[in-house]
Structures are given as structure tokens and as C-alpha cells.
Amino acid sequence: MHELSLSGAIVNTVEKHAAGRRVSVVSLRIGALRQVVPDTLDFYFGFVSKGTVCEGARLGQELIPARLRCASCEREWEIELPLFMCPACGSAGRVEVACGDEFEVESIEVEEAECIAQR
Amino acid sequence: MHRTKVKIVEEALDANNTIAQANRADFDRAGVRVVNFMSAPGAGKTALLERVVADLPGVRVGVLEGDVQGSMDADRLAALHVPVTQLNTAPSFGGECHLDANMVRSALPELPLDEIDLLVIENVGNLVCPAEFKVGEDARIMVSSITEGEEKPLKYPLMFRACELVLINKIDLLPHLDFDLDRFLYNLDAVHPGVERILVSAKTGEGVDEWREWLAKVGSAEEVRV
């Protein structure tokens, strides 16, 4: 359900950088820990972007797996379930997220009219 | 017409976080500490606040009550003679399922910041979106009631990881339910190892003293950093 709120955040971020130009592609980097459902995000983005520079834009969703790192034994591993314990040394307090909590707009593709004055 | 790629690399919630920092700066200037209080609907947020807001030792509390609509919770707290400000998301914010930094900012002019030391922002009941949106708080507290089951930390890790304190409410019901407290605590530590937790019953008052002390500590802190 948070895909609706997140779609609004994406549109806000893109609008800031698009400077009024029509956007054709929005590329995102989404970590697994953010629990985003790709189809749901597509659906809400299409809905929220209506009437903005993002209307009709395609969402590119690069999914980043969740990887943890144990600061005690330096082991790094990928997780499916959100279990923040080191399988090697059992340490819990010193486990850090190596990647997987991103929710970034990586880039956008904008459409630009040819500038006649420069020809 | 041609297409140009524009590199951005920006956390999509940066716009919210920027406003949250502005809120935080305003609260700091007023000398007010802020708690973002979150849970699923019906976990007992308002009941737990009723237990403590009127008598935090040395700390004057105000409440910003976030709801989609209605002022039932605000009325309950106002009856305790603490200043309560209602923030409904239905009329101006599209019935949002959570509070964000901008909504809280819109309520700033109505908050009696010079009369309080601690503002408790009771978020809209929801275990998902409130975890994503900072509002300018010093500390985040969530309530998980035992009627919700043992697996909630595994299902909603964003929320359980986003908070500094977990209140485990309705423990008066332990003898009547199949709820396995040890399994819940194991799941909680798997998701957020070592997070502070208090077992509490808003109904019987068990654990309420500890809850009051925790909140008073935040309210009287010179500086708290999340």
C-alpha cells in the first residue's frame, strides 16, 4: 500500500529535475528491504503522474538485493527474510545493511525540442 | 525532438526529509522535543497516551493527533487537560494513510510550542507508510499489541526497524491468548536486535511507570538524535 505514497515522492523528485520537460523514462533503484511491489508501484505511478511531466513515462525498476555485513567477523551475505543476525558468529548488535534499503531516482530521460536558434 | 538522459541519484524521499529537518529546526528553536508515535489501528496508542500525558514529571506535553478523519482520539486526550491539536488528512491531504513532514509543517502555527516541552505526534494507525516518512521527530516509538500476533516484526520490518522503542501492549491478555511472547521477542530481535522494549498494559497499568519514565526522559533531554 505504501506504493501510492512512494509514487507521489517519485513524481516530486522528478519534477524538480525535469524543469518542465516531458519525461519518458524514470529509472529507480529499489532495495529489497523497502518492500516495494513492482507492479503496484507501476499502477500507482501511472495514476499519480497524470497531469504532471511524468504522465505516460515508463518506470525502470532496478531491484537491489538486501545484503548485510557483520562488523564483528566481516562476513557479508544476502537475505530473503529480514533477519539481522550474523549466521557465522551469531552477532546481532554489529550487523549493518550493506545494500538493500535504497529508494532512489537514479536518472530520468526527458524529451527536448530541437533548438532552432542554434542551427 | 530528442531524448536526453539526466542523472539524478537522489533518495525519492529527500523532499520529505528536507521539510522534516526544517520542522526539527523549528522544534529545536522552541526547545520542544518530539516523538513520532506509531502503530497499527487499534494497538492502543491513545490508551497508552491517556495513561501518561497528564503527569509526566517536570515535562509539559502537547499532542498532535493525526487521523484520516474525526476527532475521537483528540477528544479523549483533551479531557485530560493537555493541549491537543487535531490534524486530519482527509480534507486537505487526500485522506493520506500517514502523516508526512509537510502535513506536520502545516500544523505548526496551531501548536502551542511555547507552552510545552514535549510534542507527541500520534500518527495515523498504519504499520507501513508512517515508517517511511520522517516528520521532524527526536524519537520514534511504536506500539505492537499482542493481539496482532508474533510474526508482525517479520512482516513489517521497516516499521520495527524505524523505532527506538517498542511498546508491547495488552499483556493483560497473555493468559487468554495463544500468543507466544518468547517467539515475538525472538522475531523482534531478529529484525531490530536489542531495540528497547517495554511490556505494558494500558488497561491494568502494568509497565506504565516504565513507559512514563521513558517518555519523560525524551521530553527532558537537552539533545536527542535519532
**B104 touches B85 (CB < 8 A):** no
B178 vs A112, residue with greater confidence? B178
How far is residue B12's CA from residue B20's CA, in Å, rounded to a whole number?
A: 14
How far is residue A14's CA from residue B63's CA, in Å, rounded to a whole number?
A: 34
The pTM for the full model equals 0.91
Q: Residue with C-alpha cell 522534516?
A: B20
A117 vs B47, residue with greater confidence? B47
Nearest by CB: A84 against B9, B10, B191: B191
Q: Where are the domains of chain A?
A: 2-65+100-114
Burial class (CB in 10 A: 0-12, 13-18, 19+), B117: buried
The pLDDT of residue A119: 46
| Torsion on CA atoms B115, B107, B223, B80, rounded to nearest 10 | 50
The domain made up of A2-65+100-114 is a member of CATH 3.30.2320.50: yes
Nearest by CB: B129 against A5, A28, A106: A5
pLDDT by residue, tens only, chain B of 226 residues: 789 999 999 999 998 999 999 999 999 999 999 999 999 999 999 999 999 999 999 999 999 999 999 999 999 999 999 999 999 998 778 788 999 999 999 999 999 999 999 999 999 999 999 999 999 999 999 999 999 999 999 999 999 999 999 999 999 999 999 999 999 999 999 999 999 999 999 999 999 999 999 999 999 987 555 5
The pLDDT of residue B226: 52
How far is residue B193's CA from residue B191's CA, in Å, rounded to a whole number?
A: 6
Question: What residues pair up with A70 in beta bridges, in sequence order?
Answer: A95
Yes or no, beta carbons of A102 and B11 under 8 Å apart: yes
Listed residue (A107, A40, A55) closest to B12, CA to CA: A107
How far is residue B208's CA from residue B211's CA, in Å, rounded to a whole number?
A: 5
pLDDT per position as a tens digit, A10-23: 999 999 999 999 99
**A2 touches B156 (CB < 8 A):** no
**Residue B224 maps to a domain:** no
How far is residue B167's CA from residue B149's CA, in Å, rounded to a whole number?
A: 14
Locate A82 and state its grid cell. Answer: 529480514
Nearest by CB: B3 against A18, A24, A92: A24
Which residues does chain B have within 8 Å of residue A35's beta carbon, measured at their own beta carbons?
157-158
Yes or no, beta carbons of B6 and A95 under 8 Å apart: no
Yes or no, beta carbons of A16 and B157 under 8 Å apart: no
Closest chain B C-alpha to A104 CA, distance in angstroms: 4
Yes or no, beta carbons of B16 and A9 under 8 Å apart: yes
Residue B158 is part of which domain span? 14-219
How far is residue A75's CA from residue A73's CA, in Å, rounded to a whole number?
A: 6
Question: What residues pair up with B36 in beta bridges, in sequence order?
Answer: B121, B140
pLDDT per position as a tens digit, A51-77: 999 999 999 999 999 999 999 899 999
Closest chain A C-alpha to B51 CA, distance in angstroms: 31
The pLDDT of residue B5: 95
Which residues does chain B have within 8 Å of residue A1's beta carbon, measured at their own beta carbons?
97, 128-129
Closest chain A C-alpha to B142 CA, distance in angstroms: 18
Listed residue (B150, B157, B165, B6) closest to A24, CA to CA: B6
Question: What residues pair up with B62 in beta bridges, in sequence order?
Answer: B119
Listed residue (B165, B153, B176) closest to B200, CA to CA: B165
Report the domain count for chain B.
1
Nearest by CB: B12 against A83, A95, A104: A104
Yes or no, beta carbons of B12 and A17 under 8 Å apart: no
Nearest by CB: A13 against B2, B15, B154: B15
Which residue in chain A is spatially nearest to B159 when comparing CA positions? A34
**Residue B91 maps to a domain:** yes
Yes or no, beta carbons of A85 and B4 under 8 Å apart: no
pLDDT exceeds 60 at position A118: no
